[in-house]
């Protein structure tokens, strides 16, 4: 018997099983049983990626080897660089990520599934390089080097973006951000990737499909929209006035509420503290003050909480990251979760093919072409 869903967009429906993460259980988030707060405090992104892909935390030698592997694979093939050079500065950066991933799949195809981890780790290593190489080339005319001594993805991204060694705090905050975004159960982009994987497609196609889903403003673009919302306000008073006006006009405030969490997003508390710390070291902390006031008004007026995206906006701003690169950072991190899900889907696969309730006309009469008005 097919269960009918009343316009819920599958929200709240169980669509499969996973051992990768648990979301919303007592408003918590855990990767393979490890609470997100613990991982954000104690783990690096590379440890988290290893945990998701290999189903265990690495020991010292395994982590060293894994970091060296990723570090060795950051540079891009020349044909891929040539493709990125042809993409205009006006392009959406998520389209750049999609095209770059697809081109990488053409140059270095997965072959068969026994090579999946090789392809996955190559994608993890190159995601920061793809978007940053395009950004620097198209916006600044720079053919940047993608090779440096940074041993973390966080440090590598900030280094190639700014052309210099990042501060320890910036490196730490970026690493925490990547940890927070790495995995989140059956969200829209992950489920898209799993649907693609269920057809036994190649891993690059699965990631391209997931990127296309994440591109939508109702999924991955919320941190950019949050930044666009708050960047022009210069005080708590102005923020309060503007948000109250928007609420009165029934305008949507991006970065608040969540499809699964009902009381709080556990990731928000983590990134909010880092955004606050960064603001204290910046020449102007107005953006953080504005964001905090918006959070307060939304809680008071609508009983809505900030999700992980909202305070990522000021955190990224204080690290000098252009707004248009906010969502690609999501990709850099989430590719670890996406691909772990694709591996899990392939290991115990049945094609994902739901049914639909037909709501069209019951019967239509054929009219020959010559007789149609």
**Which two structure tokens, joined as six digits, stand for 336?**
């670890």
**Biggest alpha carbon–alpha carbon distance for the chain:** 77
Q: Tell which residue, 107, 105, 21, has the closest CA to residue 337.
A: 21
Share of the chain above pLDDT 70, in %: 96
Q: Which residue intervals of the chain are DSSP H helices?
A: 36-42, 45-54, 60-72, 78-86, 93-107, 116-140, 153-162, 168-181, 188-198, 203-214, 222-230, 236-248, 266-280, 286-302, 312-318, 326-347
Sign of the torsion angle spanned by Cα atoms 358, 359, 365, 368: negative
- Mapping DSSP to helix (H, G, I), strand (E, B) and coil, where does residue 29 land? strand
Distances (CA, A) of 154 to 54, 60, 71, 81, 167: 21, 19, 12, 21, 11
Q: What is the mean pLDDT of residues 48-75?
A: 98
Computed on alpha carbons and rounded to an integer, the radius of gyration of the chain in Å comes to 22
Are 16 and 369 contacting, i.e. CB atoms less than 8 angstroms apart?
Answer: no
Cβ neighbours of residue 35 closer than 8 Å, sequence gap 6 or more? 28, 29
- Mapping DSSP to helix (H, G, I), strand (E, B) and coil, where does residue 25 land? helix
| pLDDT value for 216 | 86
Residue 347 has pLDDT above 70, yes or no: yes
| pLDDT value for 252 | 86
Q: Is 258 a catalytic residue?
A: yes
- Mapping DSSP to helix (H, G, I), strand (E, B) and coil, where does residue 223 land? helix
Average pLDDT score, the chain: 93
Q: What is the mean pLDDT of residues 321-328?
A: 96
- Give the active site residue among 175, 202, 265, 309: 309
For residues 20, 193, 117, 60, the Cα torsion angle rounded to the nearest 10 degrees is: -30
| pLDDT value for 1 | 40
Chain length of the chain: 373
Q: Between 307 and 71, where is the model more confident?
A: 71
Least confident of 83-87, 139-143, 234-238, 254-258: 254-258
pLDDT tens track for 152-182: 999 999 999 999 999 999 999 999 999 999 9
pLDDT band at 284; cut points 50, 70, 90: confident
Residue 19 has pLDDT above 60, yes or no: yes
Least confident of 6-15, 62-71, 219-228, 265-274: 6-15
Residue 313 has pLDDT above 90, yes or no: yes
Q: What is the mean pLDDT of residues 268-273?
A: 95
Q: Tell which residue, 224, 169, 174, 214, has the closest CA to residue 192.
A: 214
Residue 57's CB is within 10 A of a number of other CB atoms, namely 15
Share of the chain above pLDDT 90, in %: 83
Question: What CA–CA distance (Å, rounded) separates 183 from 185?
Answer: 6
User: 173-188 as b/e, with b when 16 or more CB fall inside 10 Å?
Assistant: bbbbbbbbbbbbbbbb
Q: Is 232 a catalytic residue?
A: no
Cβ neighbours of residue 144 closer than 8 Å, sequence gap 6 or more? 132, 133, 136, 137, 160, 163
pTM of the model: 0.93
Question: What CA–CA distance (Å, rounded) separates 209 from 206?
Answer: 5
Q: What is the mean pLDDT of residues 241-262?
A: 87
| pLDDT value for 2 | 43
Distances (CA, A) of 44 to 67, 176, 228: 10, 7, 29
- Give the active site residue among 159, 258, 312, 341: 258
Sign of the torsion angle spanned by Cα atoms 317, 100, 104, 350: positive
- Give the active site residue among 34, 92, 162, 219: 219
Q: Tell which residue, 200, 50, 199, has the closest CA to residue 113.
A: 200
Least confident of 21-35, 295-309, 324-338, 354-368: 21-35
């Amino acid at each position: 018997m097919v269960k009918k869903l009343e316009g819920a967009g599958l929200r709240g429906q169980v669509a499969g099983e996973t051992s990768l993460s648990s979301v919303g259980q007592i408003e918590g988030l855990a990767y393979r049983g490890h609470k997100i707060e613990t991982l954000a405090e104690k783990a690096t992104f590379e440890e988290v990626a290893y945990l998701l892909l290999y189903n265990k935390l690495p020991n010292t030698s395994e982590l060293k080897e894994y970091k060296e592997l990723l570090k060795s694979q950051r540079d891009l093939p020349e044909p891929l660089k040539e493709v990125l050079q042809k993409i205009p500065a006006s392009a959406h950066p998520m389209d750049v990520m999609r095209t770059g991933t697809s081109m990488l799949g053409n140059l270095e195809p997965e072959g068969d599934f026994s090579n999946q981890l090789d392809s996955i780790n190559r994608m993890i290593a190159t995601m920061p390089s793809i978007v940053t190489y395009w950004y620097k080339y198209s916006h600044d005319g720079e053919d940047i080097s993608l090779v440096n001594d940074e041993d973390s993805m966080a440090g590598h991204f900030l280094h190639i973006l700014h052309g210099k060694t990042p501060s320890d705090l910036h490196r730490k905050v970026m690493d925490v951000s990547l940890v927070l975004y790495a995995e989140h159960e059956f969200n829209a982009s992950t489920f898209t990737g799993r649907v693609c994987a269920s057809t036994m497609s190649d891993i690059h196609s699965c990631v391209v499909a997931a990127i296309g889903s994440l591109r939508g403003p109702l999924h991955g673009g919320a941190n950019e929209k949050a930044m666009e919302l708050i960047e022009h306000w210069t005080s708590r008073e102005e923020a309060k006035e503007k948000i109250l006006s928007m609420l009165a006009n029934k305008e949507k405030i991006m970065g608040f509420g969540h499809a699964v969490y009902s009381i709080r997003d556990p990731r928000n508390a983590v990134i909010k503290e880092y955004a606050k710390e960064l603001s204290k070291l910046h020449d102007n902390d107005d953006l953080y003050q504005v964001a905090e006031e918006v959070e307060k008004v939304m809680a008071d007026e609508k009983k809505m909480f900030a999700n992980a995206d909202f305070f990522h906006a000021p955190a990224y701003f204080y690290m000098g990251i252009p707004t248009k690169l906010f969502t690609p950072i999501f990709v850099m991190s989430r590719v670890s979760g996406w691909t772990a899900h694709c591996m899990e889907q392939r290991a115990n696969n049945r094609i994902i093919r739901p049914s639909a309730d037909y709501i069209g006309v019951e019967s239509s009469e054929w009219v020959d072409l010559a007789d149609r008005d």
